[in-house]
Amino acid sequence: MSRTDASAAPRQGAHLASGISISDVSHSYGAQGGSGVLALDGINLEIGDGEFHCLLGPSGCGKSTLLYLVGGFIPVQSGTISTAAGLVTAPGPDRSIVFQNFALFPWKTVKDNVLYGLKKAGYPSAEREPRAQRYIDMVHLTGFENAYPSQLSGGMQQRAAIARTLAVDPGILLMDEPFGALDAQTRRVMQEELRAIWRESRKTVVFVTHDVQEAVFLADRISIMSARPGRIQHVIDVNLPKDRGEEILENRDFIGLSEHIWRLVREQAVAATRGVH
Ligand code: ADP
C-alpha cells in the first residue's frame, strides 16, 4: 500500500494493526552451530491483532532479542515470524521500535524529529506538517514543537520519540523498556498516556519490561519468559478494566494478579542466579 493511500485514510493508517505469529524461534549469539550463547529456545507465541502484549522476565532472558527478531533488526536463524505483511525477514514499515534511550536527533527540534521520520517513511511533503502536528498533540507536546531534546525532560523526550514512531503509522509498535530511564512518577504518567494512546491508535504493541507492575498495568496479555535460554513459561491474560488509571493500583484483582505474576517471575530470577532452569 502506498503512502498516498495512508494519507487518504489517516485514521485507519497504511499499516493496520496486525497479529504476530512466532513459531519455533530459537536464537544463538556468537558461533553458529553450537558453541554460541543460546538466547532463545523454541519460542511459540501468537499475538493478536491490536493486542497490548508484554514480554516479562529477568534480565538476560532474551526479551530484547525476541523484540529485535520481530522487528527484523536481527535475522531469524531458526523458526518463523510472520505478520499480516508476510514473513519477517527484515525491518519493514509495518513495524516500528521505541528504545529506552529516546533515540532523538539532539540537533533537531521536536517537530523536525517527527518530520524526519515521516520523510524517511516516504510521506509526501504536503502531508508531513499536519501529520507531525497531530501526533505531537496526541502525546501532549503542543507548544514544544520548536524545543530541542536537551530542553525537554526525560518524559517529554520519550513522548517525542513515541510521536515520531506513531506518526509513520506502523501497525505494530515494538517497545524496548521505553520508560526504563525515567523516574518512577514520570514513568507512571507515561504508562497511563501510552495506554490511552494505544486505545486511540489501535496498534498491536509488544512491550518489553522486567517490571511486573508495569506489565500488569499495560498489558492485555503477558508472556513470562524463563531465564536464559529464554522460553515462554506462562502466557497470562490480564482481565482488568480497559480504562486503567492510577486507581487500578488499589484494585484487588490488580494486586492479586501482580503478586501471582511476581512469584512466577521470581522463580525465573532465582533460577537465573543459580544457573538452573
Ligand atoms: P533481555 O532483553 O531479556 O535482558 P537480551 O535479549 O538482551 O535479554 O539478551 C539475551 C542473552 O543474549 C543475554 O545473555 C545476553 O548477554 C546475550 N546477548 C544479547 N545480545 C548479544 C550480542 N550482541 N552478542 C552476544 N550475546 C548477546
The verdict on the CB of residue 131 being under 6 Å from ligand 1 is no
Give the dihedral sign, CA 13/158/215/20. Answer: positive
pLDDT for the residue numbered 170 = 86
What is the average pLDDT score of the chain? Answer: 87
pLDDT for the residue numbered 6 = 35
Spacing, Cα 100 to ligand 1 middle (Å): 15
pLDDT for the residue numbered 5 = 36
Site of grid cell 496526541: 138
Greater pLDDT, 220 or 33: 220
Spacing, Cα 61 to ligand 1 middle (Å): 7
The x, y and z cell numbers of residue 15, run together, are 499499516
Spacing, Cα 225 to ligand 1 middle (Å): 14
Distances (CA, A) of 164 to 97, 139, 170: 10, 10, 11
The percentage of the chain sitting over the pLDDT mark of 70, rounded to a whole number, equals 91
Spacing, Cα 208 to ligand 1 middle (Å): 13
The predicted-structure confidence for 51-95, as pLDDT tens digits, reads as follows 999 999 988 899 999 999 999 999 999 999 999 989 999 998 889
The verdict on the CB of residue 37 being under 6 Å from ligand 1 is yes
The verdict on the CB of residue 29 being under 6 Å from ligand 1 is yes
The percentage of the chain sitting over the pLDDT mark of 90, rounded to a whole number, equals 57
In this structure, are strands 221-225 and 232-237 parallel, antiparallel, or unpaired? antiparallel
Q: What's the pLDDT band for 167 if we cut at 50, 70, 90?
A: confident
pLDDT for the residue numbered 2 = 38
pLDDT for the residue numbered 121 = 84
Rounded Cα gap, residues 238 and 242, in angstroms: 10
The predicted-structure confidence for 30-43, as pLDDT tens digits, reads as follows 865 556 889 999 99
The predicted-structure confidence for 234-273, as pLDDT tens digits, reads as follows 999 999 988 888 889 999 999 999 999 999 998 887 877 7
The verdict on the CB of residue 74 being under 6 Å from ligand 1 is no
pLDDT for the residue numbered 189 = 83
10 Å CB burial of residue 173 (0-12, 13-18, 19+) is: buried
Spacing, Cα 221 to ligand 1 middle (Å): 23
Taking the CA of residue 176 as reference, the ligand 1 atom at the shortest distance is 2
The predicted-structure confidence for 3-16, as pLDDT tens digits, reads as follows 333 333 333 345 66
* 187 pLDDT more than 90: no
Residue type, 261: I
Mean of the pLDDT values across residues 129-156? 92
Query: Three-class SS string for the chain?
Result: CCHHHHHHCCCCCCCCCCCEEEEEEEEEECCCCCCCEEEEEEEEEEECCCCEEEEECCCCCCHHHHHHHHHCCCCCCEEEEEECCEECCCCCCCEEEECCCCCCCCCCCHHHHHHHHHHHCCCCHHHHHHHHHHHHHHCCCCCCCCCCHHHCCHHHHHHHHHHHHHHCCCCEEEEECCCCCCCHHHHHHHHHHHHHHHHHHCCEEEEEECCHHHHHHHCCEEEEECCCCECEEEEEECCCCCCCCHHHHHCHHHHHHHHHHHHHHHHHHHHHHHCCC
pLDDT for the residue numbered 100 = 77
**Domain boundaries in the chain?**
18-94+170-274
pLDDT for the residue numbered 204 = 95
CATH topology of domain 18-94+170-274: Rossmann fold (3.40.50)
Distances (CA, A) of 172 to 96, 115, 208, 227: 7, 20, 14, 26
pLDDT for the residue numbered 68 = 96
